[in-house]
Amino acid sequence: MNKIFEMFQEDNGGISNTRVVTLIFCACMVTEWIHAIFTTGVFSPNMTSVSIVLGCIGLKVAQKPFEQKVGEAGK
């Protein structure tokens, strides 16, 4: 179970809210996709959902260089 939580940790050991939010939005989109495939046979995501997921991923990529590593917090 700890391995799963390690996926959401930043280099400083804290939980990354951006990763958690991205996971939630991706899970929602996958659920919407599965529902659409089984009911209508066609999945056409709206641009708002796609923009939110890409924005969350882009935010994490932009934030990564500014994270502090373990032991650097006091410097």
Higher pLDDT, 72 or 22: 22
Q: How many residues does the chain have?
A: 75
- pTM surpassing 0.95? no
The pLDDT score that the predictor gives to residue 1 is 66
Strand, coil or helix: 21: helix
Confidence category of residue 50, pLDDT binned at 50, 70, 90: confident
Task: State the chain's mean pLDDT as an integer.
Answer: 81
What is the distance in angstroms between the CA of the first residue and the CA of the last residue of the chain?
32
CB 39 within 8 A of CB 11: no
**Tokens 């046979």 belong to residue:** 41
What would the mean pLDDT of 18-33 be, rounded to a whole number? 87
DSSP 39-65: HTS-----HHHHHHHHHHHHHHHHHGG
